[in-house]
Structure 1
């Protein structure tokens, strides 16, 4: 007879996500994960697979939450175009208790040679740049430019957004991040 799980997998996954986000893949041991998740080794492996499998699952979970948070921020903005881009730049991942910065940026810089991490992060970054391009296209200045020019501008804004996430991880204040977002937007006005 199969035993039932004595823990909530979604809760355990969130705890693992925060450990990987705070400490990275290499500095997060299986023992640390088990303690944070409140589970034993057998439950860890039976439910989530290897440490690498768990890491990928936390990364894709993060990306799903991030994209949802970004969409909500843009939808709540009092307009599209640059107003929407600013809302996107200042959006936060809607997970209570999450660390500052961006788990996807951390993953990209810590594990660039991992093909699974590379694919997940590149897909997320591509979709984010496409969202920025769509928002820019709402502005009169960008409505009729060549697609290549729009894509370059969107990619430049996206790259600046990644820099904002690094600054957040390093402890930049909200006013500092607001000012940096405004400076970034001034380049595409």
Structure 2
């Protein structure tokens, strides 16, 4: 194991990296059948230690982390459970079944009925006065091509909202889990230690 040396904070995990770290931790806990928290981790990965990658075979090395604090690992276990549930919801998330309308008129009327739909139109770039919106509702005026396209975008976003929200929740939960592990390492060694391209991650007594 490298010695303590705080040469930098390192590069935070990307969303994809955080998810891989969270999945590795989740798998390690699935194999951990003891009531006590693990204090050691056997890891084979690219190891970023205080902003510096440790030498290894094509950048990959095996290290054994020891002396992890139980209170920090309890926090890791807690957030990894949240990440597990969030990732499960992401895998089963589907587009909203109620958003199936065709054509700008039907889509606009459905969006106009709810605050979230109205907000989605605004974010998508729909631009009109209240009087103009009323004329669209009554059918006495047709939106410009740009506004029709914006309505279609807003409708698509609302249809995909359950999927995008589940993905966002999973990303946040995975990052929280990965950072909890980083915090446990920092508590032990005094520096940020991150694992990338993990090939092996196993808890030990």
After TM superposition, the score normalised by the length of structure 2 is 0.24
* Higher strand content, 1 or 2: 2
Q: Which protein is richer in helix relative to its size?
A: 1
Structure index of larger Rg: 2
**Relative contact order: is structure 1 or structure 2 higher (C-alpha 8 Å, sep ≥ 6)?**
2
